[in-house]
Amino acid sequence: MSAQQISVAVLGAGGRMGSEAVKAVEAASDMQLVAALGRGDSLDQVVEAGATHIVDLTVPDSTEANVHFAVENGLHAVVGTTGWDAQRLQRLEQKLTEHAGVAVLIAPNFALGSVLASAFAAKAAQYFESAEIIELHHPNKVDAPSGTAVRTAELMAAARRELHVPPSPDATESQLDGARGAVVEDIHVHSVRLRGLVAHQEVLLGSAGEQLSIRHDSFDRASFMPGVLLGLRTAASRPGLTYGLDGYLDLGL
Amino acid sequence: MSAQQISVAVLGAGGRMGSEAVKAVEAASDMQLVAALGRGDSLDQVVEAGATHIVDLTVPDSTEANVHFAVENGLHAVVGTTGWDAQRLQRLEQKLTEHAGVAVLIAPNFALGSVLASAFAAKAAQYFESAEIIELHHPNKVDAPSGTAVRTAELMAAARRELHVPPSPDATESQLDGARGAVVEDIHVHSVRLRGLVAHQEVLLGSAGEQLSIRHDSFDRASFMPGVLLGLRTAASRPGLTYGLDGYLDLGL
Amino acid sequence: MSAQQISVAVLGAGGRMGSEAVKAVEAASDMQLVAALGRGDSLDQVVEAGATHIVDLTVPDSTEANVHFAVENGLHAVVGTTGWDAQRLQRLEQKLTEHAGVAVLIAPNFALGSVLASAFAAKAAQYFESAEIIELHHPNKVDAPSGTAVRTAELMAAARRELHVPPSPDATESQLDGARGAVVEDIHVHSVRLRGLVAHQEVLLGSAGEQLSIRHDSFDRASFMPGVLLGLRTAASRPGLTYGLDGYLDLGL
Amino acid sequence: MSAQQISVAVLGAGGRMGSEAVKAVEAASDMQLVAALGRGDSLDQVVEAGATHIVDLTVPDSTEANVHFAVENGLHAVVGTTGWDAQRLQRLEQKLTEHAGVAVLIAPNFALGSVLASAFAAKAAQYFESAEIIELHHPNKVDAPSGTAVRTAELMAAARRELHVPPSPDATESQLDGARGAVVEDIHVHSVRLRGLVAHQEVLLGSAGEQLSIRHDSFDRASFMPGVLLGLRTAASRPGLTYGLDGYLDLGL
Taking only the tens place, the pLDDT of each residue in B208-227 is 999 999 999 999 878 889 89
**Residue A228: its chain D contacts at CB < 8 A?**
none
Supply the ipTM of this predicted assembly: 0.85
pLDDT at D222: 82
| Residue B216 designated active-site | no
Q: Which residue of the set C68, C137, C188, C190 is catalytic?
A: C137
Does the beta-carbon distance from A219 to C223 stay under 8 Å? no
Please, what is the Cα angle at C75 between C71 and C79, to 5 degrees?
75
**Residue C219: its chain B contacts at CB < 8 A?**
209-211
pLDDT at A2: 45
**Quick check: C220 contacting D, CB < 8 Å?**
no
Does the beta-carbon distance from B221 to C208 stay under 8 Å? no
Nearest CB among B129, B136, B144 relative to A179 is that of B144
User: Is D112-219 CATH 3.40.640.10?
Assistant: no
For residues B150-165, give the mean pLDDT. Answer: 95
> Measured between alpha carbons, how far is D228 from D217 in angstroms, rounded to an integer?
18
- Which of A248-252, B38-42, D153-157 has the weakest average pLDDT? A248-252
**Quick check: B166 contacting A, CB < 8 Å?**
no
Taking only the tens place, the pLDDT of each residue in B176-191 is 999 999 999 999 999 9
CA distance C227 to chain A (A): 15
Among the CATH numbers 3.30.360.10, 3.30.70.141, 3.40.50.1820, 3.40.50.720, which is that of B112-220? Answer: 3.30.360.10
Taking only the tens place, the pLDDT of each residue in D160-206 is 999 999 999 999 999 999 999 999 999 999 999 999 999 999 999 99
**Structural domain spans, chain A:** 3-110+222-248, 112-219
Does the beta-carbon distance from D206 to C195 stay under 8 Å? yes
**Quick check: B120 contacting C, CB < 8 Å?**
yes
The answer for residues whose C-beta is within 8 angstroms of residue D129's C-beta and 6 or more apart is A226, C195, C196, D168, D169, D206, D207, D208
CA distance C36 to chain B (A): 23
Taking only the tens place, the pLDDT of each residue in B69-109 is 999 999 999 999 988 999 999 999 999 999 999 999 999 88
**Residue B136: its chain A contacts at CB < 8 A?**
204
Q: Chain-wide mean pLDDT for chain C?
A: 94
Q: What number of other Cβ atoms are within 10 A of residue B177's Cβ?
A: 10
Helix (H, G, I), strand (E, B) or coil at C116: helix
**Quick check: D1 contacting C, CB < 8 Å?**
no
Does D3 have pLDDT greater than 50? no
Helix axis angle, D225-234 to D112-124, nearest 10°: 80
How deeply is A31 buried, as exposed, middle or buried, from its count of CB atoms within 10 A (0-12, 13-18, 19+)?
buried
pLDDT at A166: 96
Main-chain phi, psi angles of D13, to 5 degrees: -70, -15
Distances (CA, A) of D245 to C53, C253, D58, D65: 67, 51, 18, 22
| Residue B141 designated active-site | yes
Cβ A186 vs Cβ A168: under 8 Å:
yes
Q: Which residue of the set A68, A99, A137, A200 is catalytic?
A: A137
Nearest CB among C179, C182, C211 relative to D196 is that of C211
* Bond into C145 cis (ω within 30): yes
List, in sequence order, every residue forming a beta bridge with C201; answer none if it has no partner.
C135, C216
Among the CATH numbers 2.160.20.10, 3.40.50.20, 3.20.20.60, 3.40.50.720, which is that of A3-110+222-248? Answer: 3.40.50.720
Is A13 flagged in the annotation as binding? yes
Q: Chain-wide mean pLDDT for chain D?
A: 94
Does C4 have pLDDT greater than 60? no
pLDDT at C223: 87
CA nearest neighbour of C241 among C109, C84, C129? C84
pLDDT at D241: 97
Cβ C215 vs Cβ B202: under 8 Å:
no
pLDDT at D2: 45
Could you tell me what percent of chain A has a pLDDT over 90? 89
Distances (CA, A) of A185 to A129, A153, A158, B136: 15, 7, 9, 21
Cβ A216 vs Cβ A160: under 8 Å:
no
> Measured between alpha carbons, how far is A48 from A44 in angstroms, rounded to an integer?
6
pLDDT at D223: 87
CA distance B119 to chain C (A): 10
Main-chain phi, psi angles of A131, to 5 degrees: -150, 125
Query: Considering Cα of D151, then D156, then D157, then D161, what sign does the dihedral take?
Result: positive
CA distance B51 to chain D (A): 31
Nearest CB among A116, A212, A251 relative to D113 is that of A212
Q: What number of other Cβ atoms are within 10 A of residue D88's Cβ?
A: 16
**Quick check: D221 contacting A, CB < 8 Å?**
yes
pLDDT at B252: 62
For residues C215-226, give the mean pLDDT. Answer: 90
Does the beta-carbon distance from B219 to D219 stay under 8 Å? yes
Strands of A76-79's sheet in order across: A32-37, A7-11, A53-56, A76-79, A103-106, A240-243
CA nearest neighbour of A35 among A62, A65, A8, A4? A8
Residue ranges for the known binding site of D for NAD(+) are 12-17, 80-82, 107-110
pLDDT at C196: 95
φ/ψ region of B35 (left if φ > 0, alpha if ψ in -120 to 50, else beta) reads beta
